[in-house]
Structure 1
Amino acid sequence: MSNSIKLLALVFITLFSSCSKNDEENSNGNENQGFLKIGNQSVELSQGYLENFGVRGNAYNIDFSLKSKSISGEEDGAVVYFELFSSLQNNLSKGDYAFGGYSEATAYTFTRWGQSLIGKNINSEKGGMSVKNGISIRPSGGTFKVIENGQLYKVSFTGKGTASYYKDGVLTSSENDVSFSMQYQGDVKRSEGKTFTAKKVFSEERLEKNHAVIFN
């Protein structure tokens, strides 16, 4: 009888340990995680955003943004923004997105109007974003990958861009063909896109976009 009780207790302990380990793994797997790397500088990312700007041409303009936990404090923060065209009305299609133009609005492309920043005091401004001390880079080529697009998103980017370097809010230098990359896995907050100025739906002129969703 004593041996049976010991055996039963051992089975319960084993099952409990296994469940606890699985719960911990699932919890870690559901955490938002990612990074932005520009040159040799890297900052962790913690939250994703999707902004739906509606149909344009034969595609849908759905922009994707990311930010770190802190973007205005004394420590380095990061913001990622990509302007993309998807074949899906309310989501980014799975697949590889190549560099393209806003006027063409071709599905599976991203435009030069994207912007990624690393540094201290990142803020929104009309038609873009700024960093007081750090780097701002706009893409000139590369591949944006959408691997998962369900409740959780999994995306990555590897490419090059034109980098601008700032100190105390003043542009100190610029550099072409700077390598930068991004990875993110986690949830995204969805919203309808907003603009500073109203344009005609079929205008060739690009909308001036409001990035307030990132900073709220």
Structure 2
Amino acid sequence: MEGGSATARKVMVVVDPTREAAGALEYALYHAVLEHDTLFLLHIENPNAWKNPFGAFFRRPLPPPQPGNGVGSTSTSTSMSAEGGGGGGGGGEVYFLDAMKHACMAAQPKMKVVVEKAEMVDGKDKASVILAYCTAHKIELLIVGQKRSLSNAILGPRRGGSLRGMDTADYLIEYSKCTCVAVQKKGQKAGYLLNSKTHKNFWLLA
């Protein structure tokens, strides 16, 4: 996909307590960001959404990043995993951002990590809030987890002028002013399936 640059960039990962978001962050840390970049973790709070304890975010310590190939820039294999629900210790919906920030600091100690939280208010959808934050913070690379439905896998993303008929990741890919990469983690060692405006179903080994 796209090569990295020596110039510091602003990279944003959309995060929540799901496997998809954990996979997106894992990809970002080991395949997309460099230590001189600034990484924004954006969580969109929905007052009407479910409450889902985050459970055990990591199964084993994170390895140090090494040079490699991928969308946006660097690195190599990962060991991050998410389990949505279970795992004991309630209040995961409160603490998962701290776990994710800790993961970033462990993987890229010199990188600046910024946690941002926003709410879906005034009738705005999640994608609109994300795009507004990208514009406000001049984000250059947006990374979002994506869960493929069977219809999407068969038919591919549907185009249109609104979110109707498109999932959030497809909408962000289509309308983001910066490069947007949707990430699907394919098992602990199977790698990632990546989608962007210029690359569809790009397979990246872990």
More helix by share: 2
Q: Could you tell me the TM-score, scaled by structure 2's length?
A: 0.26
| Rg (Cα) greater in structure | 1
Q: Could you tell me the TM-score, scaled by structure 1's length?
A: 0.26
